[in-house]
Structure 1
């Protein structure tokens, strides 16, 4: 006999834009987000008995996002996600958990004639800030913050040698290579008991610090491998942001291969003479890492 073992539903890809206008200075601040809300609870009969009674319509969820955006700040996105989750769990007695995902898109203020423009912005890359939260009835708020689609490259300062070799290994060792990756970095916060506790946290400062650490270590580390470099990044974020419990990175290799041009009049373009490369799309290396705090020892 079959049974419904798990279910959730909601509204995805809700596009949201908000402008804060400083009437005194004429300076505008803009935020653009893509929001997803998913609800779970006592909703079984909607699936098993065609009973729509427990369904909070996905259009209702969309309208709730807009209304809450009008009533509250939507930056930092962690706080807005917690406000949305708290609303759904407290408003509907049969809803016991609310999942919220927010993708915050980049708009950077233009500099015109050497001065920040009050109301003009540009999109400087595809990097996004992502928040994933779950608000559970009587259990608090779980939040994960992320950086995604941050494309970075350095033309030296990376090596890869001393790796395991066997009869299937063809990759040569290298002491100087191009290192490029599209950063996906996430950090999981301690569980917050309520929205009031969430509002006390400097999420923007933590996001800025995590981004700075990622870029600084990437640029300055004499990298023995992607694995070694990403571990240093996670270790430093844990040291700098005490409320974070664990950090994870996903770093795909963006390969740039040397091109042998010696066939043309002995032209040197390999090893230390390599200056022209062929960017590769696939296949590529893909490296994962989670760095967590050690459990406190029990006395």
Structure 2
């Protein structure tokens, strides 16, 4: 922190800007056969370029309205299709940069909500679904005159294992009261993102494979800390998928504390817990290849620009 008491007298400038239409809720239903398919997304579009006059003088002559961006997102769900969110995002980003002259860069951020077919009389129903309570799939596409970057991902993947996790040997000071443990519940709500090195990808199979690897590592790694588990997850993804340059992971440590049943004369042998929702440790990691290509603007967000 700058502690000088001298007043600042530098020129006041606009040092950054971007704009777009956030959180367009687009649902595409494919009705080509009696067995319908549904794709349910939340898409945010962000345009980058020389829009300074709009901020400085109110001149909108270079500004493509955010309402137009919204209409494009819905139109492209039909015209270009909405099967893989990565492909859909690439189409939107390319359109804004290649077809709208003042736009030099675009960022598309997408969340996909999963549905599963309703089962009626033992058979899957052709046009009725139940909302899945599992993870939300995500994708971020950045496109400008220097390149195209795709980041796949997921969030809200809730994982828990009842053993196979320790936490001991940690640094202690006069305020440390946490007891070491060699057998604890480990639980988290995982956010994972992975950066592709190419757009020539079977998006659906790669997503399924990465999720499977995340679950496998969480389950099978005997964890001495959540940090160790995150690294092993990232390492396994990079080993399995040469088209991935780096993986970023964020995991709140959803603590489960043994509930004090001894005061009632009841033995509690790691069987009954208090699930604490807050506060929580927030563990984050980035795992990358030493020869990973430059990330460019791929991690420069729109929706979370100030977070």
Scaled by the length of structure 1, what TM-score is found? 0.90
Computed over aligned residues only, the root mean square deviation of the Cα atoms, in angstroms, reads 1.4
In structure 1, what is the Cα distance between the partners aligned to 2:77 and 2:262? 61
> Superposed, which structure 2 residues align to 1:1-299 within 5 Å?
1-23=11-33, 26-125=34-133, 127-137=135-145, 139-190=146-197, 192=198, 198=199, 200-264=200-264, 266-269=265-268, 273-295=269-291
In structure 2, what is the Cα distance between the partners aligned to 1:44 and 1:274? 60
Is the 1:31–1:104 contact (alpha carbons within 8 Å) kept by the matching residues of 2? yes
Query: What count of residue pairs does the alignment treat as equivalent?
Result: 282
In structure 1, what is the Cα distance between the partners aligned to 2:152 and 2:246? 11
Q: Displacement, 1:126?
A: 5.0
Q: Displacement, 1:217?
A: 1.2
Q: Displacement, 1:68?
A: 1.1
In structure 2, what is the Cα distance between the partners aligned to 1:22 and 1:176? 53
Unaligned runs of 5+ in 1: 193-197
Unaligned runs of 5+ in 2: 1-10, 293-307
Q: Secondary structure at the match of 2:263?
A: coil
Query: Deviations 1:18-73 (Å, cap 9, x if unpaired)?
Result: 011232xx111100001100111121111112111111001111111111111112
In structure 2, what is the Cα distance between the partners aligned to 1:22 and 1:69? 15
Between 1:2-11 and 1:246-255, the stretch displaced more is: 2-11
Query: Deviations 1:195-248 (Å, cap 9, x if unpaired)?
Result: xxx3x3111111111110111111122111111111111001101111110001
Scaled by the length of structure 2, what TM-score is found? 0.88
Q: Displacement, 1:283?
A: 1.2
Query: Deviations 1:65-93 (Å, cap 9, x if unpaired)?
Result: 11111111222111111100000011111
Is the 1:15–1:34 contact (alpha carbons within 8 Å) kept by the matching residues of 2? yes
